[in-house]
Homo-oligomer: A and B are copies of this chain.
Amino acid sequence: MSTAVDDELWSAIGDPIRRTMIDLLLADGPGTATSLSRRLPVTRQAVSKHLAVLDRVGLIHAEPAGRERHYQVDEAQLARAVAQLSAVGSTWDARLRRIKRIAETIERHRTNNQGG
């Protein structure tokens, strides 16, 4: 159902700050800890820690450029993460449908047997 790798990806994108960071990197292109921190409600150091987490799970990678470090999204890895999201989503969705169908079936049986 869920592997250790999956959990790492999930916990990486589970944090709202990190999700927003990915959003920003996707929308505005590569950025640094400082540039991202200017658009987030946390300090540069906090952003830096989040970048390290995202880097560790491979969702982003850094490119040193002089005194700056440019981070950008790893598209393949993010695509994998998106796939996992939709996988869990569709699993739950399917189970919800099944439960609903069963509930309706039971209701129908009751109606038939007890005449309403």
A residues apposed to B, CB below 8 Å: 1-2, 7, 10-11, 13-16, 19-20, 22-23, 26-27, 75, 78-79, 81-82, 85-86, 88-89, 91-93, 95-96, 99-100
Contacts and interface: CB of A to CB of B under 8 A. Distances in A.
B20 A14 contact: no
Given A2-B19, A78-B92, 10 more contacts: A2-B16, A2-B20, A23-B91, A26-B99, A75-B96, A82-B93, A85-B88, A85-B89, A86-B86, A86-B89
A23 B10 contact: no
A100 B85 contact: no
Contacts of A89: 82, 85-86, 89
A88 B86 CA distance: 10
A16 B7 CA distance: 6
A10 B15 CA distance: 8
Contacts of A20: 1-2
Contacts of A95: 26-27
Contact of A86 (B13, B26, B85): B85
Contacts of A22: 92
